[in-house]
Structure 1
């Protein structure tokens, strides 16, 4: 398994992947812009997703927590939302307490964004502005916008012909409230910078133990040097040291379980050469995998 295979298996690219989800309905879509409505009835945690275009998440009921690649948490409750720049990697967690998670997902294409920016006094210089990845939203006018949208759906009013107008209306509402912060995010979205992934969440999955340090750097959206620097700051050891230690701990767990041969265990933790695996295991624990297996 290489880094590309891991990405395909574990990242939900939105909006493209939403059509396969039973709890998410497409309300309307045209020319790359779209509005979806999700109604989650069961817990859904640690879902990693990548925003392939500008996305607004607005919670109508329940609560959801998003975690950014920097491990910052965005807690969204009823009446709250977040506007996500294109090219963001985040994790979503929903644990049902009393209510389903009911939320709107709005995706806006570049043509609509360009039309909006041309219609407002937009003279920001990105060299003087910090690139923004997300803008949290909470205002009664935004809530009113989505209530009106819900009424259209309830009364089966076809809104495909007015989709662009509604999206421009939404952007103008947000502009009236958030001004320069909104425009800075929209211009950052136009840059479509490569996404950095949440390093801690990425490393929690045991399947990454089969990957190399180079693969992990690519998978995290960082250069090798940037990955090694950020990793050492976060974990106080090099990625290579961490990877060897994690591989050996997982290997010991598999060996103790007793249902795999040593060769299979070696492959499970990323060693194609069994001799190298045995040497690393003995250096870590002071005994060979076979000696551990005999102890049970």
Structure 2
């Protein structure tokens, strides 16, 4: 699956760099785990549909009752239609320069969270609904003062959220301009029990699959496929020994696409069928 460079693919003038940008995104079919290289921090104001995102060592799912502020970087996006036949959200992008200017103007020099959480979940309310409805790419494309107006809209939403969430949002904003990158092992070990494929974990590490495999073998002295399979099967055994779950309940979460493959791998490792546990 090709990597989408966002928001660059939305720019009408491909040569111009923009510090702040709004895009109305619509879709009429589900997209599962598309690869996104997000070069700017971004608000995702989901209006119709459901969204799940994976970033390095974490993931989050939201519906239209919530909005997300996402850190720039490599993401896997899953966007699903709801009862409607269209998926619709408004994307509001801003550069690190815009954010830095805002923080120096309105906030204190605070230390960000120790844990580097790449998203902030926003609970929608009446004010946010009115704000979202005021955002439209057409309005800001054809407006004589579009840049100045967009900057005011950015400050408006930021100041509202600072007031709504207080210190937690302020700390999060400061963490966005941190240059620290999640260590390789954190990304790998946070996805041991996910159903992500090797190639998808490699993408979240900002690596090609071949580079990821070399780095993995160097770190763990074992090929990633075998290492992850062993860890996931051990987790499956623990879940089944708990007595509340059947093999059909867990094989997808353990990273297998069908029950038969899971059962064969389980029996090869432990000598018994998962149904016998």
**Pairwise same-fold verdict (TM > 0.5):** yes
Which structure would you say has the larger Rg? 1
Match of 2:114 in 1: 129
Residue 216 of structure 1 pairs with residue 216 of structure 2: no
Say yes or no: does 1:66 pair with 2:61: no
Map Cα deviations across residues 54-98 of structure 1 (whole Å, 9 max, x no partner).
1111112222222333353x2222242111112242332324542
1:203 is the counterpart of 2:190? no
Q: Which residue of 1 aligns with 2:247?
A: none
Which residues of structure 2 form unaligned runs of 5+? 233-267, 269-277
The Cα RMSD (Å) is 4.0
Given the two structures, how large is their TM-score scaled by the length of structure 2? 0.62
Which secondary structure does the structure 1 equivalent of 2:111 belong to? coil
Unaligned 5+ segments in structure 1 are: 1-8, 20-24, 239-283, 285-296
- What's 2:87 paired with? 101
Shift of 1:36: 0.8
Q: Structure 1 residues 31, 182: closer, same or farther in 2, change over 3 A?
A: same
Distance 2:164 2:222 in 1: 40
> Whole-Å Cα distance in 1 between the matches of residues 5 and 158 of structure 2?
23
Bigger CA drift: 139-148 or 86-95?
86-95
Summarize deviations over 1:203-251 as a string: whole Å, max 9, x none.
Answer: 267xx9x954x43366xxx89427979988753269xxxxxxxxxxxxx
The SS at the match of 1:42 is coil
Contact 1:40 1:100 in 2 (8 A): yes
Q: More helix per residue: 1 or 2?
A: 1
Q: For residue 133 of structure 1, report the CA deviation from its aligned partner.
A: 0.8
**1:108 Cα deviation (Å)?**
0.9
Q: Is the 8 A contact 1:12 1:50 kept in 2?
A: yes
How far apart in 2 are the matches of 1:116 and 1:211? 38
176-185 vs 144-153, greater mean Cα deviation: 144-153
**Equivalence map 1:10-49=2 (5 Å):** 10-19=2-11, 31-49=18-36
Q: Deviations over 1:87-120 (max 9, x none)?
A: 2423323245424111011111122211221123
CA contact (8 A) 1:86 1:192 kept: no
Structure 1 residue 33, shift from structure 2 partner: 1.5
Cα gap change, 1:192/1:223 in structure 2, threshold over 3 Å: closer, same or farther? Answer: farther
Contact 1:46 1:92 (C-alpha < 8 Å) held by counterparts? yes
1:61–1:99: 8 Å Cα contact kept in structure 2?
no
Q: Do 1:68 and 1:89's aligned partners in 2 also have CA atoms closer than 8 Å?
A: yes
TM-score (norm 1): 0.59
Q: Distance in 2 between matches of 1:234 and 1:80?
A: 33
Are residues 88 and 217 of structure 1, via their aligned partners in 2, closer, same or farther at CA, if it must alter by over 3 Å? farther
Which of residues 219, 225, 245 in structure 2 aligns to 1:225? 219
**2:230 corresponding residue in structure 1:** 236
